[in-house]
Amino acid sequence: MTGTDALEPARPKNAARAGRRVRGTATLVVGCVLAGAIALLALVSLFWLPFPADDTSGGRLTGPGEGHLLGTDKLGRDLFTQVMTGSRIAVEAGLGSVLIAAVIGVTLGVLAAFAQGWLDDTLSAFLDILIAFPTLLLAMLIVAARSATLGSAVLAIGLAQSAVVARLARILVKRVLAQDYITAARTSGTSWPRTVLGHVLPNIWPTLVVNLALQFGLAVLAEAGLSYLGLGAPPPNASWGRMLQEAQATFTTAPAGALAPGILLVLLVIGVNLIADGLRDTLDPATRRRRT
């Protein structure tokens, strides 16, 4: 790569890269603002809520107005309080799932990359099957085995996503292992664990991080979907998915109950997707090398 770069006229390529980086930074900033606002909401909900979570003293489905910023739900609970709690659950679900996906996925991916022959085939086949397995079905199995809690939902989403991460990690690691500097490191006597930590992971993490950011958005959506179906956090936890489900019947008369969690869900997912896009542009290994 670097060799061809040197032969070509440097200017336009550099300009294009710089442009991509500037655009990348812009997307990154917008993404951070959107996702950050919701993360802030989640953080605040840990210390302060407008109303106690189980306060049913508001009227039935009062519209947005004095006292209740977004109005109340059927039981008279404050919607803004619920939306705040929901943002915490969404962020928890996203982080939890991505953490599980990252730990299991990267470990499996690295192992699969080192595996040879039938073991390699078996592992990749296993990952392909896991990817083909619907997240929903997996979630239902886990919920049946444990019970419907946020933990079960996160575990199911995390496991399903770990297959995607593992497959990506396997390909990335395989590609890095074929590089000359790995051979050089090995011949100079570096042990395999040190090679992986010192050379392989640093070279694959930019691509992985971008993918994990995308998985975060997907995990938030998946948790909302599971909660909508009653397989996520049990009531009275105000997960956005559950709020949507509860507000469905009253959408024509009290739209705030569905609009508020719906819009926040969209903003959070767009936010993290923009962050992923921005990261991809700014973390591009080629760009990074040029910069340093």
Partner 1 sequence: MNIKKTSLYATASAAALALTLTACSGSGSGGSASGGSWDKNATVNIGSLYEPQNLDNTAGGGQGVTEALNGNVYEGLFKLTDDGKVDKLLATDHKVSADGLTYTFTLRDGVKFHSGKQLTSDDVKYSLEKVIADDSQSARKSNLEVIKDIATPDAHTVKVTLSQRSISFVYNLSYVWIINSQAQNLKTTEDGTGPYRLDKWTRGSALSLNRFAGYWGDAARNQKAVFHYYKDATALNNALLTNAVDVVTSEQSPDSLDQFKNNQNYKVNDGNSTTKLLLAFNDKAKPFTDVRVRQAVSAAIDDKKLLESVWGGYGKLIGSMVPPTDPWYEDLTEVNAHDPARAKKLLAEAGYAKGFDFTLDTPNYDPHPTAATFIKSELAKVGITVTINTITPDEWYTKVYKNHDFTATLQEHVNDRDLVWYGNPDFYWGYDNKQVTQWVRQAEEAGSAAEQTELLKKVNRKTAEDAASDWLYLYPQIVVADSKLSGYPLNGLNSQFYAYDIKKKG
Comparing CB distances to partner 1, the nearer of 8 and 54 is 54
Applying CB under 8 A, the span of 6-14, 48-56, 95-103, 207-215 interacting with partner 1 comes to 48-56
Comparing CB distances to partner 1, the nearer of 25 and 248 is 248
Residue 255 binds to partner 1 (criterion: CB under 8 A): no
For residue 56, give the nearest of 82, 86, 34 by alpha carbon: 82
Residue 230 binds to partner 1 (criterion: CB under 8 A): yes
Handedness of CA 146, 156, 101, 35 (dihedral sign): negative
Residue 252 binds to partner 1 (criterion: CB under 8 A): yes
For residue 110, give the nearest of 248, 205, 186 by alpha carbon: 205
Q: What angle do CA 139, 142, 145 make, to 5 degrees?
A: 150
Q: Kindly state the number of chain residues that form the binding site for partner 1, as judged by CB under 8 A.
A: 25
Find the helix packing angle between 256-283 and 79-114, rounded to 10°: 40
Residue 76 binds to partner 1 (criterion: CB under 8 A): yes
Least gap, CB of 54 to partner 1 (angstroms): 4
Least gap, CB of 52 to partner 1 (angstroms): 9
Applying CB under 8 A, the span of 4-12, 68-76, 104-112, 158-166 interacting with partner 1 comes to 68-76
Dihedral, 40, 46, 49, 55 alpha carbons, nearest 10: 140
Residue 14 binds to partner 1 (criterion: CB under 8 A): no
**Which pair of structure tokens corresponds to residue 235?**
């009531």
Count Cβ neighbours within 10 Å for each residue of 196-218 and write b for 16 or more, e otherwise: beebbbebbebbbbbbbbbbbbb
Least gap, CB of 212 to partner 1 (angstroms): 30
Comparing CB distances to partner 1, the nearer of 140 and 267 is 140
Residue 79 region, left (φ>0) first, then alpha (ψ -120 to 50), else beta? alpha
Q: Is-contact 166 104, C-beta < 8 A?
A: yes
State which of residues 248, 285, 286, 288 lies at the interface with partner 1 (CB under 8 A): 248
**Contact residues: partner 1, CB under 8 A:** 54-56, 60-61, 74-76, 144, 147-148, 230-231, 234-236, 242, 246, 248-254
